[in-house]
Amino acid sequence: MKSRTQQLIENVLNDNSRPTDNSLRARAFRRAMSGATPRTMTPWEWEEWYAAHGEKIDLSIEKEDE
């Protein structure tokens, strides 16, 4: 009879599923290729993103009342 540890090791060694790359580079590439709206960018990057995706950009600056 195999111990629990031996069974776990055997399961890991016999695993035929494709390994997934969970590195920071791979995750960033998947997120970039997904087409989802980004979460954080500089104001200039947002302008470029909105221009590339055809969304309206409001660049007006409101002046404070004196």
Q: What is the pLDDT of residue 25?
A: 93
Residue 9: which H helix or E strand, with range? helix 4-13
Q: Using 70 as the pLDDT threshold, list the residues of the chain that sit under it.
A: 56-66
Q: Are 2 and 10 in contact (CB under 8 A)?
A: yes
Q: What is the pLDDT of residue 59?
A: 59
Alpha-carbon span 57 to 35, nearest angstrom: 19
- Looking from the CA of 40 toward its CB, the CA atoms found within 13 Å total 1
User: What is the pTM assigned to this prediction?
Assistant: 0.40
Domain ranges (residues) in the chain: 20-57
Close Cβ partners of 20 (under 8 Å, ≥ 6 residues apart): none
Q: Which of 41, 30, 35, 40 is nearest to 53 (CA)?
A: 35
